[in-house]
Amino acid sequence: QKEVEQNSGPLSVPEGAIASLNCTYSDRGSQSFFWYRQYSGKSPELIMFIYSNGDKEDGRFTAQLNKASQYVSLLIRDSQPSDSATYLCAVNTRGSTLGRLYFGRGTQLTVWP
Amino acid sequence: DAGVTQSPTHLIKTRGQQVTLRCSPKSGHDTVSWYQQALGQGPQFIFQYYEEEERQRGNFPDRFSGHQFPNYSSELNVNALLLGDSALYLCASSSSGGVGDTQYFGPGTRLTVL
């Protein structure tokens, strides 16, 4: 069973702060890592993907991957109330389960003004 | 450029009935995956279609079946509905030649089974 674990939260930060979201995965064969944002009642929206160890930055978002520790994180700088949502971590393992995404339960983030 | 579309948006059925959900992938995508998301949970993989065939399947019973058409659109069928089938059903499309199989989700179909 391939597992993806996230702190369910809720995580609450003030506007302008850095929000840090964490995710661990069990399968060392995992090769692609994704962060989705899901507003209440809506479908997941892709924010970022990362394949290589290290950091990847896109605007206010930074994804960090450490394959040795089986850990991936998402940092949101200058958090805004509009960032309030559930953030889903997903991993994709090559081989027999090519293309199948395994999701965590999501971390609920609230950014208060 | 149209994104992933799904229909219907909402659906109410009773136990034992059958339902068909539809999905059109993003332009340029040829692979469709279906997920079930129960309230408070992450999406769970149902199956994936590529070249009109089921490429792989998650841990769902045979009551769940699907189809992919030559234009890459797809249907999800669920027979003998149970109360536990109430969930948000998500379709995701991707390109077989795309990097990392990045999947983009449609708006979903909210199914309620009474």
In chain B, the residue whose alpha carbon lies closest to the alpha carbon of A89 is B42
Is the pLDDT at B1 greater than 70? The verdict is no
**3-class DSSP assignment, residue B5:** strand
Question: Integer distance in angstroms from the first to the last C-alpha of chain A?
Answer: 40
Mean pLDDT of A89-106: 82
Is the pLDDT at B37 greater than 90? The verdict is yes
Q: Tokens representing B28?
A: 């340029």
DSSP letter assigned to residue A76: E
Using 50, 70 and 90 to split pLDDT, how confident is the model at A94?
A: low
Q: Residue A18: what pLDDT? A: 97
As a whole-number percent, the residues of chain B with pLDDT over 90 amount to 87
Contact between residue A101 and residue A2 where contact means Cβ atoms under 8 Å apart: no
> Which residues of chain B make contact with A100, given a CB cutoff of 8 A?
33, 45, 48, 56, 58
Q: Residue A63: what pLDDT? A: 97
Q: Render pLDDT for A13-32 as a digit per residue (tens, 0 to 9).
A: 999 999 999 999 998 888 89
What's the CA angle centered on A38, arms A104 and A19, to 5 degrees? 75
Using 50, 70 and 90 to split pLDDT, how confident is the model at A99?
A: confident
Scanning the structure block, which residue is given the tokens 């797809």? B74
Query: What CA–CA distance (Å, rounded) separates B45 from B58?
Result: 5
Mean pLDDT of B54-58: 90
Interface test with B, best of A37, A39, A43 (most B CBs within 10 A): A43
Q: Which of A4, A100, A105 sits opposite B56 (nearest CB)?
A: A100
Cross-chain Cβ contact A36/B58 below 8 Å:
no
Q: For chain B, what is the largest distance between any 2 Cα atoms, rounded to a whole number of angstroms?
A: 41
Query: What CA–CA distance (Å, rounded) separates B74 from B22?
Result: 6
Q: Radius of gyration over alpha carbons of chain A, in Å?
A: 14
